[in-house]
Protein backbone atom coordinates (compact mmCIF):
# COMPACT_ATOMS: atom_id res chain seq x y z
CA UNK A 1 0.00 0.00 0.00
CA UNK A 2 1.56 3.34 -1.00
CA UNK A 3 2.06 5.91 1.75
CA UNK A 4 -0.45 8.75 1.74
CA UNK A 5 1.11 11.64 3.70
CA UNK A 6 -1.93 13.94 3.64
CA UNK A 7 -4.35 11.19 4.68
CA UNK A 8 -1.98 9.87 7.37
CA UNK A 9 -1.50 13.27 9.05
CA UNK A 10 -5.20 14.10 8.83
CA UNK A 11 -6.01 10.78 10.56
CA UNK A 12 -3.45 11.44 13.34
CA UNK A 13 -4.99 14.88 13.97
CA UNK A 14 -8.48 13.37 13.96
CA UNK A 15 -7.45 10.72 16.49
CA UNK A 16 -5.97 13.45 18.70
CA UNK A 17 -9.28 15.31 18.59
CA UNK A 18 -8.27 18.19 16.31
CA UNK A 19 -10.46 19.45 13.51
CA UNK A 20 -8.07 20.48 10.74
CA UNK A 21 -7.48 20.51 7.01
CA UNK A 22 -4.20 19.27 5.54
CA UNK A 23 -2.86 20.43 2.18
CA UNK A 24 -0.04 18.50 0.51
CA UNK A 25 2.55 20.35 -1.58
CA UNK A 26 5.51 18.80 -3.42
CA UNK A 27 8.91 20.34 -2.75
CA UNK A 28 12.27 19.53 -4.35
CA UNK A 29 13.44 17.65 -1.24
CA UNK A 30 10.18 16.14 -0.01
CA UNK A 31 6.59 16.96 0.82
CA UNK A 32 5.13 19.90 2.73
CA UNK A 33 2.01 19.10 4.75
CA UNK A 34 0.38 22.42 5.58
CA UNK A 35 -2.14 22.18 8.41
CA UNK A 36 -4.93 24.69 8.95
CA UNK A 37 -6.61 24.39 12.35
CA UNK A 38 -8.48 26.63 14.80
CA UNK A 39 -6.36 25.28 17.64
CA UNK A 40 -3.01 25.89 15.93
CA UNK A 41 -1.26 27.11 19.10
CA UNK A 42 -1.83 23.78 20.84
CA UNK A 43 -0.61 21.91 17.77
CA UNK A 44 2.55 24.02 17.51
CA UNK A 45 3.38 23.77 21.22
CA UNK A 46 6.06 25.55 23.20
CA UNK A 47 8.90 26.55 20.85
CA UNK A 48 7.37 24.33 18.16
CA UNK A 49 7.98 21.13 20.14
CA UNK A 50 4.52 19.63 19.55
CA UNK A 51 4.84 20.44 15.84
CA UNK A 52 8.24 18.71 15.74
CA UNK A 53 6.78 15.65 17.49
CA UNK A 54 3.84 15.56 15.08
CA UNK A 55 6.25 15.69 12.14
CA UNK A 56 8.36 12.88 13.64
CA UNK A 57 5.34 10.59 14.20
CA UNK A 58 3.98 11.33 10.73
CA UNK A 59 7.31 10.46 9.09
CA UNK A 60 7.70 7.26 11.15
CA UNK A 61 4.22 6.06 10.07
CA UNK A 62 4.84 6.97 6.43
CA UNK A 63 8.22 5.20 6.40
CA UNK A 64 6.61 2.04 7.84
CA UNK A 65 4.04 2.11 5.03
CA UNK A 66 6.64 2.78 2.32
CA UNK A 67 10.41 3.12 3.03
CA UNK A 68 10.90 5.04 -0.25
CA UNK A 69 8.42 7.82 0.66
CA UNK A 70 9.99 11.31 0.65
CA UNK A 71 10.35 13.04 4.01
CA UNK A 72 7.37 15.15 5.05
CA UNK A 73 7.74 18.63 6.53
CA UNK A 74 4.74 19.52 8.67
CA UNK A 75 3.83 23.21 9.06
CA UNK A 76 0.92 24.75 10.90
CA UNK A 77 -0.37 28.18 9.96
CA UNK A 78 2.97 29.26 8.45
CA UNK A 79 4.79 28.77 11.78
CA UNK A 80 7.84 27.07 10.23
CA UNK A 81 8.24 29.77 7.57
CA UNK A 82 8.22 32.52 10.22
CA UNK A 83 10.55 30.56 12.51
CA UNK A 84 12.90 29.91 9.56
CA UNK A 85 13.05 33.64 8.71
CA UNK A 86 13.83 34.47 12.36
CA UNK A 87 16.63 31.85 12.47
CA UNK A 88 18.17 33.07 9.21
CA UNK A 89 18.07 36.64 10.54
CA UNK A 90 19.73 35.52 13.81
CA UNK A 91 22.42 33.64 11.84
CA UNK A 92 23.20 36.67 9.69
CA UNK A 93 23.38 38.99 12.72
CA UNK A 94 25.75 36.57 14.48
CA UNK A 95 27.90 36.30 11.33
CA UNK A 96 28.10 40.09 11.19
CA UNK A 97 29.40 40.15 14.80
CA UNK A 98 32.04 37.56 13.90
CA UNK A 99 33.14 39.65 10.91
CA UNK A 100 33.16 42.88 12.92
CA UNK A 101 34.96 41.64 16.06
CA UNK A 102 36.75 38.50 14.86
CA UNK A 103 35.48 36.61 17.90
CA UNK A 104 33.67 33.29 18.13
CA UNK A 105 29.91 33.68 18.60
CA UNK A 106 27.87 30.91 20.23
CA UNK A 107 24.16 30.55 19.54
CA UNK A 108 21.86 28.94 22.12
CA UNK A 109 21.22 25.18 21.97
CA UNK A 110 18.96 24.33 19.02
CA UNK A 111 17.22 21.26 17.62
CA UNK A 112 18.81 19.44 14.69
CA UNK A 113 16.15 20.91 12.39
CA UNK A 114 16.93 24.49 13.48
CA UNK A 115 20.72 23.94 13.36
CA UNK A 116 20.39 22.77 9.76
CA UNK A 117 18.64 26.04 8.86
CA UNK A 118 21.51 28.06 10.41
CA UNK A 119 24.22 25.96 8.70
CA UNK A 120 22.39 26.26 5.35
CA UNK A 121 21.97 30.04 5.75
CA UNK A 122 25.73 30.53 6.23
CA UNK A 123 27.22 27.73 4.10
CA UNK A 124 28.08 30.08 1.21
CA UNK A 125 29.55 32.82 3.41
CA UNK A 126 33.28 32.89 2.55
CA UNK A 127 34.34 34.48 5.87
CA UNK A 128 32.35 32.36 8.38
CA UNK A 129 32.44 28.72 9.41
CA UNK A 130 29.85 27.02 11.60
CA UNK A 131 30.18 24.03 13.94
CA UNK A 132 27.64 22.24 16.13
CA UNK A 133 28.90 21.45 19.63
CA UNK A 134 27.48 19.31 22.45
CA UNK A 135 25.84 21.13 25.35
CA UNK A 136 25.93 19.37 28.71
CA UNK A 137 22.57 18.55 30.22
CA UNK A 138 20.57 18.72 26.97
CA UNK A 139 20.10 16.67 23.84
CA UNK A 140 20.38 19.83 21.76
CA UNK A 141 23.61 21.27 20.38
CA UNK A 142 24.80 24.85 20.12
CA UNK A 143 26.32 26.38 17.01
CA UNK A 144 29.66 28.15 17.07
CA UNK A 145 30.36 30.72 14.37
CA UNK A 146 33.99 31.65 13.81
CA UNK A 147 36.07 33.43 11.19
CA UNK A 148 37.40 31.25 8.36
CA UNK A 149 41.16 31.42 8.11
Q: What is the mean pLDDT of the chain?
A: 92
Q: Do residues 56 and 63 make contact, with C-beta atoms less than 8 angstroms apart?
A: no
Helices assigned H by DSSP within 1-149: 5-15, 40-44, 49-65, 79-101, 112-122
pLDDT beyond 60 at 1: no
Q: Do residues 135 and 141 make contact, with C-beta atoms less than 8 angstroms apart?
A: yes
Task: Using CB atoms within 10 Å of the CB of residue 118, give its burial: 0 to 12 exposed, 13 to 18 middle, 19+ buried.
Answer: buried
In this predicted structure, what is the pLDDT of residue 16?
94
- pLDDT tens string 23-72: 999 988 889 999 999 889 999 999 889 999 999 999 999 999 999 999 99
Q: Do residues 9 and 74 make contact, with C-beta atoms less than 8 angstroms apart?
A: yes
- Report, in angstroms and rounded to the nearest whole number, the Rg of the chain calculated over CA atoms: 18
In this predicted structure, what is the pLDDT of residue 28?
83
Would the pTM of this model clear 0.85, i.e. be above it?
Answer: no
Q: Do residues 148 and 126 make contact, with C-beta atoms less than 8 angstroms apart?
A: yes
Amino acid sequence: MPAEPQVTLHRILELLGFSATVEEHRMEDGILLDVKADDSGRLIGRQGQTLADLQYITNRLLFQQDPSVPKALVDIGGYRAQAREALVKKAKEAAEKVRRWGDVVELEPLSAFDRRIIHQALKDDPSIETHSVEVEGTDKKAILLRPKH
